[in-house]
Amino acid sequence: MYDVHLSGELNGMYGKTHSADTRKLISSKVKEAVNSPEYILKRSKTMEKKKEERIQQEKIAISEIFYSLQGESRSAGKPTVFVRTFGCPLTCTYCDSMYANTGSDFRQMTVPEIMNKIHEIAPACKSICVTGGEPLAQPHIRRLLQALIAEHYRVDVETSGCIDISNYMCGKDATIYFTVDYKCPTSGMEDRMLPEVFAHVRRKDAVKFVVGSEADLQTMLSVIKQYKFTSAIYVSPIFEKISLETIADFILSHEELTEVRFQLQLHKYIWSPETRGV
């Protein structure tokens, strides 16, 4: 870059050592070089290229992306784009999306590819539900959440209660909301629940109980008493497993449950319960 003629004593390992004046000259020339507009622009382009290459290598396993009505929780009934990831560390007995947990029916997609698909299928919709499987089990899911927030989406994340949500909140004012499942006994996964997950649930988030028995209802009551949630609390039946009247009577007979909201999975009543992409 610069032709600097050096002088000094010979160093046996590295060649010539340099006088104080020569070192000062080298330092000033190097500073001049790295602060030049040409070098700064070149460095910026190099860094941007490396960032783009890294993003292109960061892929998320996607089961499906579709546009439908939100079936439950805080945004129930609202037109929403669903991004369903593939894979889950749990195997609940009543899982209604096992196709997103086992097999090979998924596609590895980069964050830009996912964003392009969202824009394509519902360009006017600003409500996103990231679900699964278990979305927080995906190594690069935080980058997707950040990309959605940057484009001013409201993002609802449905998660299973076995992964700490505090690492994915993306900042105090981020438009990201968590619906955290507490897995009751019928799920077969209650022992996988992490106490710290429920300790991190915020007022703007939600906790959801899916129940299929009297034991599940008693578990729900116990957990609500223990954590004293300030968030919304939802209870939904395992489809055709427990009578709706049983759930309603249980809620109404316990004063600790006055803030609980009883919900049905709306999409299972509009479409066939086995229908995908709704």
In a domain, 250, yes or no: yes
> Strands across the sheet with 176-182, in order?
107-110, 59-69, 79-85, 127-131, 154-159, 176-182, 206-211, 232-237, 260-262
| CA 148 – CA 79 distance, rounded (Å) | 16
Q: Is 106 found in the same domain as 197?
A: yes
Q: Is 65 found in the same domain as 51?
A: no
The residue assigned the tokens 């927080």 is 136
In a domain, 275, yes or no: no
Q: What amino acid occupies position 195?
A: P
Instruction: Name the pTM for this structure.
Output: 0.79
Backbone angles phi, psi at 186, to 5 degrees: -60, -25
| CA 141 – CA 275 distance, rounded (Å) | 26
- Structure confidence by residue, pLDDT tens digits, 121-179: 999 999 999 999 999 999 999 999 999 999 999 999 999 999 999 999 998 889 999 99
Give the residue numbers spanning the domain of 75. Answer: 59-270
If one counts the domains in the chain, the total is 2
Q: Which residues contact 33 (CB under 8 A, 6 or more apart)?
A: 1, 2, 39
Of the pLDDT bands very low, low, confident and very high (cuts 50, 70, 90), residue 38 is confident
Backbone angles phi, psi at 43, to 5 degrees: -65, -40
Q: Is 31 found in the same domain as 127?
A: no
